Chains A and B, each alone.
Chain A
Amino acid sequence: MSRPVHPSDEHSPQPLAAASGGALDARALDARAFDAIFRECAPDVHAYVISLLGDRAAAEDVTALAFERLYRSRTRLDRRRGTPRAWLFSIARNAALDELRRRGRRPHYQLDDERSGQLDASDASDVGDALEHMERRATVRAALAALPLREREVVLLKFHGQLSNAELARALGISESNAGTRLHRALTRLRECCTDLDRQEVA
């Protein structure tokens, strides 16, 4: 039985395009490159979309739609506009926002509590560390939920998409300096939120 694929399970610290031997940097995605990017990015895209939409069914549909659009636009892929991964996350972001717009509602951050509250022995060497991890996740989740939507989206795109600031800027449709500013502001606010939550917990 195949176990669920989690984005963090297959995380690679290197950019995926480089990790795949340059296959993902091809100007036009052939079948092999598309297959590679699908297997490497599908969990991350799904995680990003579900974090943005907060709806599992909608996230699955949007994930499928994003890959379909990537396939259709594979011949127009231009290396100057970023890696296929950045292209894919840009497509996924647009598809997710279109989904929200179609539903006429704003995104909400309502992820599964079971995951964030789950005690995973494999994540830590002992129960104490596991508890600390669990509490950290709960704090981060609360801090993310407290962020304004625009800043939360930047954090999700940065961490799930693993995009550089330039790619982030292209995905957001803003300049690179603006993207850096927005990301800096979002992470600063996230830090402040986490600190505030810590203080409230201590108090």
Chain B
Amino acid sequence: MRVIAFPGGDGAPAEQSWAAELDAALSGRVEGPAADSWRELREDVRSLAPPVSPELMQRLERELAVSPAAPARPPRRLARLRALGRPQLAGAVAVAAALAVAVIVVGFGRSGAANRAVSVPPVAAGPARPATNAGKAQAESSAVAEPSVNGDLEPSRSSPSSAAGAPPGRVQQLAASVSLSAAPADVQAVSDGVARLAVRDEGFVEDSHVEVQQHGSSEATLTLRLPSARLSAALAAIGRLAPVSAESQSLQDITNAYDAARQRLADATAERQALLRALARATTEGQIDSLRERLSQSRSAIAQARSSLQAVSQRASTAEVEVTVLGDSHATSEGLTLHRGLHDAGRVLTVALIVLLIAAAALVPLALLIAAATFAHRAWRRYSRERVLQSP
């Protein structure tokens, strides 16, 4: 007869004390028949399993490389990556991607703002037909494609500068105004820099007024005339002299005025030609004197028409730029100062905060989705495992 003794046969004790008693018996801390019977039961259960074959142990040692002689360990960095696990790795990749997107978004935003501050928008391109020599009619005709007096040259309504923004065949007048902020002590230097830029760009200072006070506000106002084709570069260069606090640009279409001036010149020229032909056919002194007087008037009319056309061409070929330099005690100045350092630090922190906010805006929903998916996956996997153990 087999007798399998079980402790607590007369009724199960309270579960907590029972569990403690069981653990104490299995760990060998308690002696006695009951503890012995628990240990015997454990040994009986454990002995039912077949032993591990030496071949399996050798195979496991090979596969796991646990032998001290086998240095087959993955590199530390690789092991750390592997140890991260898929969810953590996916999270790290998502964070990096969100940060990259945020940096790109902020970078584009800032570059766009910078463009608005210091550069000319595409619509404000140079004039359609700049006039480079207003003094000579022939040169003017060739330079700005103005029709000749004989009318054998049709004006070219498109130019390289107009192709960028102005519609073909249109004549446009550009103007801009820029306000710069500089330290009061730097107003004069910035004004000089603006003037030098105007000369460098083949323009000139039409008007300037610089007022520098020792203990007060300093201000400078300059009116520049610059070639329209170089307006964009000039504004960008001006923006590099000092921080731009305000900028405005205007564009005026003067095609009608240009065409009217040109037509008046053509009409006056045609009238002079007709008078010259009539003079050649004149036979009496009275006709000759009358025609000469009219020719004299015609010359005046031609000169006036040509002058008018030159004025319109001048308006198209040059752009007026109003530059105001304001002495601001809070403006940044050249050199390394504590105020400037704090200002730059604040800007860096602001940008960093913006990046973090954008990243958080992208990451929070993503993290919620990943967490929900992970939770659902784990719950489903656990349910699937437990279902295997359910009795049929």
A binding-site residues for B, Cβ under 8 Å: 1-9, 11, 13-15, 31-32, 34-35, 38-39, 42-43, 46-48, 50-51, 56, 60, 63-64, 67-68, 71-76, 94, 97-98, 100-101, 106-107, 111-112, 115-116, 132, 135-137, 139-141, 144, 148-150, 153, 155-156, 159-160, 162, 164-165, 173, 177, 180-181, 183-184, 187-188, 190-191, 194-195, 198, 201-202
A164: B residues at CB distance < 8 A: 23
- Shortest distance between the CB of B377 and any CB in chain A (Å): 13
A140 B45 Cβ-Cβ under 8 A: yes
- The answer to whether A115 and B47 touch (CB under 8 A), given A72-B82, A194-B6, is yes
5 sample A-B contacts, Cβ–Cβ < 8 Å, listed by A number: A13-B26, A43-B51, A75-B79, A76-B83, A101-B384
A67 B60 Cβ-Cβ under 8 A: yes
**B112 within 8 Å of A (CB atoms):** no
A71: B residues at CB distance < 8 A: 64
- The answer to whether A180 and B15 touch (CB under 8 A), given A13-B26, A38-B60, A159-B46, is yes
A101: B residues at CB distance < 8 A: 384-385, 387-388
A136 B63 Cβ-Cβ under 8 A: no
A139: B residues at CB distance < 8 A: 2, 4
A6 B47 Cβ-Cβ under 8 A: yes
A198 B390 Cβ-Cβ under 8 A: no
- The answer to whether A100 and B388 touch (CB under 8 A), given A6-B52, A42-B60, A75-B83, is yes
B385 A140 Cβ-Cβ under 8 A: no
A140 B44 Cβ-Cβ under 8 A: yes
**B199 within 8 Å of A (CB atoms):** no
Per the bound structure, the CA–CA distance linking A56 and B61 in Å amounts to 18
Per the bound structure, the CA–CA distance linking A123 and B387 in Å amounts to 39
- The answer to whether A63 and B60 touch (CB under 8 A), given A4-B51, A155-B45, is yes
A100: B residues at CB distance < 8 A: 388
B2 A153 Cβ-Cβ under 8 A: no
Per the bound structure, the CA–CA distance linking A188 and B15 in Å amounts to 12
- Shortest distance between the CB of A11 and any CB in chain B (Å): 7
Interface residues of B in 56-106 (CB under 8 A from A): 56-57, 59-61, 63-64, 66-68, 73, 79-80, 82-83, 85
**9 extra A-B contacts, CB within 8 A, seeds A5-B54, A7-B46, A74-B83:** A2-B54, A6-B52, A9-B51, A46-B52, A72-B83, A101-B388, A115-B48, A116-B47, A198-B3
B28 A13 Cβ-Cβ under 8 A: yes
A144: B residues at CB distance < 8 A: 45, 48
- The answer to whether A107 and B64 touch (CB under 8 A), given A2-B54, A155-B45, is no
- The answer to whether A64 and B64 touch (CB under 8 A), given A156-B45, A180-B16, A191-B9, is yes
Per the bound structure, the CA–CA distance linking A155 and B26 in Å amounts to 13
Per the bound structure, the CA–CA distance linking A190 and B48 in Å amounts to 15
B22: A residues at CB distance < 8 A: 183, 187
**B108 within 8 Å of A (CB atoms):** no
Q: Hey, what's the 0/1 contact readout for B327-363 against A, CB within 8 Å counting as 1?
A: 0000000000000000000000000000000000000
- Shortest distance between the CB of B34 and any CB in chain A (Å): 12
B27: A residues at CB distance < 8 A: 13-15
- The answer to whether A184 and B388 touch (CB under 8 A), given A35-B66, A139-B2, is no
A198 B4 Cβ-Cβ under 8 A: yes
B64 A67 Cβ-Cβ under 8 A: yes
Per the bound structure, the CA–CA distance linking A19 and B24 in Å amounts to 16
Per the bound structure, the CA–CA distance linking A134 and B2 in Å amounts to 10
A162 B26 Cβ-Cβ under 8 A: yes
**B152 within 8 Å of A (CB atoms):** no
B53 A4 Cβ-Cβ under 8 A: yes
- Shortest distance between the CB of B246 and any CB in chain A (Å): 57
- The answer to whether A94 and B385 touch (CB under 8 A), given A73-B83, A136-B2, A149-B390, is yes
- Shortest distance between the CB of B22 and any CB in chain A (Å): 8
A31: B residues at CB distance < 8 A: 66, 68, 73
B49 A50 Cβ-Cβ under 8 A: yes
